[in-house]
Chains A and B, each alone.
Chain A
């Protein structure tokens, strides 16, 4: 893989991560902290090694 290919791969990965962070922020704004399409789900998509390491304590909604 030459330098251009490496740079393209890095940019593609950053774009994917950016998209996941955006979805996670949307889930937070919409109050979905756990379960499908949630902050927790996108966090694990960003960093799969976090599974089993996180101790969720999401906000309560009155």
Chain B
């Protein structure tokens, strides 16, 4: 290889490294246009990468969190009894799983959210962002956050905290138990609705969103 060819190859590799860096900054770790894709373009002889999105946590010892230490992710989720109470089911599951209201059920959650102004048979939950769900959580001493998140953001957050979320295209609320492999693990009161059962993949998330995500911060 001539010096000119070697320099040209190095320039091409620098370009691919820069593209990989941009992909990392944009949260594209796997798939088309991702850091993994550019890495394999730099060195096509690399064996197939077992790509997984990064989950970064502090190496410091975790402070004891009485709320999350009581959390039971395997808490049962009963089927919803009506077509419009998915948000109430998600809220009541969250309160039961966190041991904040062990006896709460779907109908009591409807009352707490506030029927008919905040939740009703015509529209379901009136505020799709989940503001009234957060208000009820706050009434139980729980601090939560809300955001319209990408799959990677939701995956990272729900890996360490439970919550609930609603896809605007899905028009359905579910509680989030955590993560399972590359998917979100959900407590779904309508298993099978639009093909979703107990997990939500990246593809399903992108197809059924955008998602308003609520998660417990303490």
- Chain A CB within 8 A of B160 CB: yes
Chain B residues, Cβ within 8 Å of A62: 56-58, 156, 159-160
Given A21-B14, A21-B17, are A59 and B54 neighbors across the interface (CB < 8 Å)? yes
Interface size class of B (residues with CB under 8 A): 20 to 34
A61 to B57, Cβ gap below 8 A?
yes
For A47, what are the chain B residues with a Cβ–Cβ distance below 8 Å?
A: 18
Distance A25 CA – B18 CA, assembled complex (angstroms): 11
Whether B26 and A61, one on each chain, are in contact in the complex, defined by CB atoms closer than 8 angstroms, is no
Known: A60-B56, A60-B157. A55 touches B26 (CB 8 A): yes
Smallest CB–CB gap between B41 and chain A, Å? 16
**A-chain residues with CB within 8 Å of residue B27 when the two chains form the complex:** 56-59
Please tell me if the beta carbons of B7 and A14 are within 8 angstroms of each other in the complex. Answer: yes
Interface size of A in residues (CB-CB distance below 8 Å): 28
- A60 in contact with B58 (CB, 8 Å): no
**Does A54 touch B at the CB level, under 8 Å?**
yes
Contacts of B11 in A (CB 8 A): 10, 14
B14 touching A54, Cβ below 8 Å = no
**Residue among B7, B18, B21, B28 making CB contact with A11, cutoff 8 Å:** B7
Q: With A and B bound together, what is the CA distance between A58 and B156 in angstroms? A: 11
* A7-B7, A58-B25 known, 12 other contacts, Cβ within 8 Å: A14-B11, A17-B14, A28-B21, A33-B25, A39-B25, A43-B22, A43-B25, A46-B14, A57-B152, A59-B54, A60-B56, A62-B160
Nearest-CB residue, chain B, relative to A3 = B4
Residues 20-45 (chain B) with a chain A CB within 8 angstroms: 21-22, 24-28
Q: A33-B25, A39-B21 are known contacts. Are A59 and B156 too (CB-CB below 8 A)?
A: yes
B67 within 8 A of A: no
Q: Does B82 contact A (CB under 8 A)?
A: no
What's the least CB distance linking B83 to chain A, in Å? Answer: 34
State which residues 60-98 of B face A: CB under 8 Å: none
Q: Is the CB of A57 within 8 A of B26?
A: yes
A residues near B4, Cβ cutoff 8 Å: 7
Residue ID in chain B nearest A57 by CB atoms: B27
The complex places the Cα of A50 from the Cα of B23 at a distance, in Å, of: 12
Q: Which residues of B contact A43 (CB under 8 A)?
A: 18, 21-22, 25
20 pairs, CB–CB < 8 Å, chain A vs chain B: A7-B4, A10-B11, A14-B11, A21-B14, A25-B21, A33-B25, A43-B18, A43-B22, A46-B18, A46-B21, A47-B18, A54-B25, A54-B26, A57-B28, A57-B150, A58-B27, A59-B54, A61-B57, A62-B58, A62-B160
